[in-house]
Amino acid sequence: MRQPLTREAIAEAAREILVAEGLHAVSLRRVAAMLGVTAPALYAHVADKRDLLQGIVEREIDVLIERFRAVGGENPIERLEGMSLSYIDYGMQNPDLFRAMFLFRPELTSEGRAGEPALGCQVHNAFADEVRAAQKSGDLEAGNADLTALTLWTTAHGVVTTLLTGPTMDIGVRSKLAESAVKAILTGLRHGSLLHAA
């Protein structure tokens, strides 16, 4: 018996195609064939290919946020470090999804849907909330929490893009790069040198 046709089922089928064959292979026709329906049947749930890709991103942002929530740590700085490394791990474990979310189609994360904030804002807000907690506890100097969160997220994002598009590195070097970049930026943020330079 075929499962009911829902936006979630459509997004999952599109995700499977993307992971198996890359972003270029995702189309309404391919998804419809995978689900055993005609392409027009999808239009009750997705408006077009852009909306189809948006459905994938919605799900993956939720996965990323859940990873952030699972990060432990005794203080906000440890949690910020853990979130940054979790972001890097996600990107390395899911390169095609990461590219679809943040590299190939950055416009997908720049718009809200039905009164909801833009998808990229959810990642930013998760970092910003933890930055505010670190400022409140005195682990970070008071200042622009949004700028601090963006600085940290940009570092984590830069590590992923370097590892995905830069020179080939063995796994030990990759891990050291991730850890050293995140620790370096957090050290700069903790001592206020980066904040005051901004």
Residue with structure tokens 């829902």?
6
* Per-residue pLDDT at 84: 97
How would residue 194 be classed by pLDDT, with cut points 50, 70 and 90? low
Task: Please give the domain boundaries of the chain with CATH numbers for all domains.
Answer: 1-46 (1.10.10.60), 58-197 (1.10.357.10)
Distance CA 46, CA 23 (A): 17
- pLDDT tens per residue, range 60-96: 999 999 999 999 888 999 999 999 999 999 999 999 8
- pLDDT tens per residue, range 114-129: 556 566 788 999 999 9
**In whole angstroms, what separates CA 162 from the centre of its chain?**
16
- pLDDT tens per residue, range 129-138: 999 999 999 9
Q: What is the DSSP string of 73-91?
A: -SSHHHHHHHHHHHHHHHH
Average pLDDT of the chain to the nearest whole number: 86
- pLDDT tens per residue, range 105-114: 544 444 455 5
The helix/strand/coil state of 72 is coil
Q: Yes or no: say if 61 and 69 are a contact pair by the CB < 8 Å rule.
A: no
Distance CA 14, CA 72 (A): 32
Q: What is the pTM of this model?
A: 0.83
**What is the widest separation between alpha-carbon atoms in the chain?**
62
Q: Yes or no: say if 108 and 50 are a contact pair by the CB < 8 Å rule.
A: yes
- pLDDT tens per residue, range 24-49: 899 999 999 999 999 999 999 998 88
Residue with structure tokens 């859940």?
66
* Per-residue pLDDT at 116: 60
Closest by CA to 148, choosing from 168, 167, 127, is 127
* Per-residue pLDDT at 104: 54
